[in-house]
Chains A and B, each alone.
Chain A
Amino acid sequence: MSKDYQLRAAINQKLIEMGERERLKELLRAKLVECGWKDQLKAHCKDVIREKGLDHVTVEDLVTDVTPKGRALVPDSVKKELLQRIRAFLVQHAAL
């Protein structure tokens, strides 16, 4: 599967080189803030912090606690739009 790996690497590289990755990233961030995902997750973080104690919170704690929830909380519309854009890019630039 190294070819697969190579393929992925190549596509990723292309994404970055063309600046499409940055654009997608910004787009996702904006949409998540808009739909309230960020505030939701922040509230969840507060709970975690209160639980763990303010002084002893580490990045790892937060990450392990927050990321799965974050992934689940993304609204479908945002997900669909992003997937659409990615597909468009791949079709255009990966000759599919």
Chain B
Amino acid sequence: MKMEEMRLSGPDNTKLEALMQDIYSELVEDACLGLCFEVHRAVKQGYFFLDETDQESMKEFEIVDQPGVDIFGQVFNQWKNKECECPNCRRLIAASRFAPHLEKCLGMGRNSSRIASRRLASNNNMSKSESDQEDNDDVNDNDWSYGAEKKAKKRKSDKNQNSPRRSKSLKHKNGELGSSIASESYKYNYNTGISYESLGPDEVRSLLTTQCGVISEHTKKMCTRPALPDAELESSSFDIPDGPSLMSRLQWEDSSDISPADSASSKASANHSDSRRPKKKKRPALGLSSAGGSGGLAEGGGGMGGSQSNLSLMTKKKKPKISAAFISSIYDDMN
């Protein structure tokens, strides 16, 4: 083989070329044949002319090759310069600006509320600062600082008003209060508000068996947390002591303002919380105080001290939670 191959070198370049050409033409012929077989098969199978429909639709969808137009014959910027009439404000807006304009105009976009509130704030500022300037014409030196302070304060208050935080906290509170009993709680909340003196003993009992009933010192509102069914049994065993006698026994440090009704209600509420205790969260601080109370208990003194601290804790917070470990200890001792 090598001997024969060597003969191709040098003057046999033509042979090489010839060989090349031969191989090339063979390859091309192969390609043509392949195409013929393909076409023939398509003809015999009947799918050769499938891409041709009638002449009309062929002309309709013919490829367009003009400048300024795409292959379908459509123009690119056709609607760019058109103007649309806004249905809200009836103005003529350019097509590309139409969607953002609608957003602001209808007040529905993401930023539209923010912009509106900001505008309101600045308007208020303007009106207020204008009126102030009229009054404080003499105080020219302080105009800038005063106005700035006003602005800053205004902004802060505006922020609080418009932010969702405010409404959230309100909802949260109301939700908690409302979850107890439907409308009754609110009725009692607003009517009884102040004292139990207006209600008779039966009413008070019925009220306190269903609700917590503790009156917060700060807001003078009654706690409407629902009482558990066990509470009824417990409360029946205890009589609600009369106001004055209780007052004489108890010594209040922090709650000098407290009315007799308050102490009664607090005592009564203590009864209910007794049964409620195992199901609520732990209160380590109160637990300590109750332990202290029970430790130093004779009959009244230590227990009262414990309850005193308990009440002080209650009045400081808006939602009084009572863990009545010491109460149970008191009554146990009493019994």
List the interface of chain A (C-beta within 8 A of B). Answer: 3-4, 6-8, 10-12, 15, 21, 24-25, 28-29, 32, 38, 41-42, 45-46, 49, 54, 57-59, 62-63, 66-67, 70-71, 74, 79, 82-83, 86-87, 90, 94-96
Question: How many Cβ-Cβ contacts under 8 Å join chain A to chain B?
Answer: 91
Check A86/B37 contact, CB under 8 A, given A49-B43, A66-B32, A96-B5: no
Ranked 6 nearest A-B pairs via Cβ? A70-B32, A62-B36, A95-B5, A67-B32, A45-B39, A86-B20
Q: Is B62 an interface residue (CB 8 A)?
A: no
Can you list 11 A-B pairs with a CB-CB distance of less than 8 A? A15-B23, A25-B27, A49-B43, A59-B40, A67-B29, A70-B32, A71-B28, A74-B28, A83-B21, A87-B20, A96-B8
Q: A50: nearest residue on chain B (CB-CB)?
A: B49
Q: Which of A10, A25, A45, A90 contacts B16 (CB 8 A)?
A: A90
Contact check, B20 vs A7: say whether CB atoms are below 8 A apart. Answer: no
Please, which residues of chain B bring their CB within 8 A of the CB of A62? 36, 39-40
Please, which residues of chain B bring their CB within 8 A of the CB of A66? 32, 35-36
Please, which residues of chain A bring their CB within 8 A of the CB of B135? none
- Chain B 1-46 residues near chain A, CB threshold 8 A: 1-2, 4-6, 8-9, 15-16, 19-25, 27-37, 39-40, 43
Compute how far the CA of A82 lies from the CA of B30 in the bound complex, rounded to whole angstroms.
14
Q: Is B72 an interface residue (CB 8 A)?
A: no
Contact check, A71 vs B25: say whether CB atoms are below 8 A apart. Answer: yes
Q: Is B48 an interface residue (CB 8 A)?
A: yes
Contact check, B27 vs A41: say whether CB atoms are below 8 A apart. Answer: no
Q: Which of B6, B15, B31 contacts A70 (CB 8 A)?
A: B31
Contact check, B27 vs A8: say whether CB atoms are below 8 A apart. Answer: no
Contact check, B4 vs A3: say whether CB atoms are below 8 A apart. Answer: yes
Please, which residues of chain B bring their CB within 8 A of the CB of A12? 23
Contact check, A29 vs B28: say whether CB atoms are below 8 A apart. Answer: no
**Among B4, B30, B39, residue most surrounded by chain A Cβ atoms (within 10 Å):** B39
Check A41/B20 contact, CB under 8 A, given A6-B4, A7-B4, A67-B29: no
Q: B34: nearest residue on chain A (CB-CB)?
A: A29
Q: Which of A25, A54, A63 contacts B31 (CB 8 A)?
A: A25
Contact check, A82 vs B35: say whether CB atoms are below 8 A apart. Answer: no
Compute how far the CA of A35 lies from the CA of B33 in the bound complex, rounded to whole angstroms.
18
**Which interface class (under 10, 10 to 19, 20 to 34, 35 or more) fits B?**
20 to 34
Looking at chain B's contact residues, the main secondary structure is helix
Check A8/B22 contact, CB under 8 A, given A66-B35, A71-B32: yes
Please, which residues of chain A bring their CB within 8 A of the CB of B32? 41, 63, 66-67, 70-71
Compute how far the CA of A29 lies from the CA of B28 in the bound complex, rounded to whole angstroms.
9
Contact check, B31 vs A83: say whether CB atoms are below 8 A apart. Answer: no
Compute how far the CA of A67 lies from the CA of B30 in the bound complex, rounded to whole angstroms.
10
Compute how far the CA of A88 lies from the CA of B32 in the bound complex, rounded to whole angstroms.
24
Check A70/B35 contact, CB under 8 A, given A54-B43, A57-B40: yes
Compute how far the CA of A29 lies from the CA of B33 in the bound complex, rounded to whole angstroms.
12
Contact check, A83 vs B20: say whether CB atoms are below 8 A apart. Answer: yes
Q: A14: nearest residue on chain B (CB-CB)?
A: B1
Compute how far the CA of A54 lies from the CA of B78 in the bound complex, rounded to whole angstroms.
46
Please, which residues of chain B bring their CB within 8 A of the CB of A8? 19, 22
Contact check, A94 vs B35: say whether CB atoms are below 8 A apart. Answer: no
Q: B37: nearest residue on chain A (CB-CB)?
A: A59
Q: B46: nearest residue on chain A (CB-CB)?
A: A54
Compute how far the CA of A95 lies from the CA of B1 in the bound complex, rounded to whole angstroms.
10
Known: A10-B4, A59-B40, A90-B20. 8 other contacts (CB 8 A): A11-B19, A25-B30, A28-B27, A45-B36, A49-B39, A49-B43, A59-B37, A87-B16
Check A10/B1 contact, CB under 8 A, given A62-B40, A67-B32: yes
Compute how far the CA of A3 lies from the CA of B6 in the bound complex, rounded to whole angstroms.
13
Q: A57: nearest residue on chain B (CB-CB)?
A: B43
Q: Give chain A nearest CB distance to B161 CB in angstroms.
A: 69
Compute how far the CA of A3 lies from the CA of B3 in the bound complex, rounded to whole angstroms.
11
Check A96/B16 contact, CB under 8 A, given A8-B22, A45-B39, A62-B39: yes
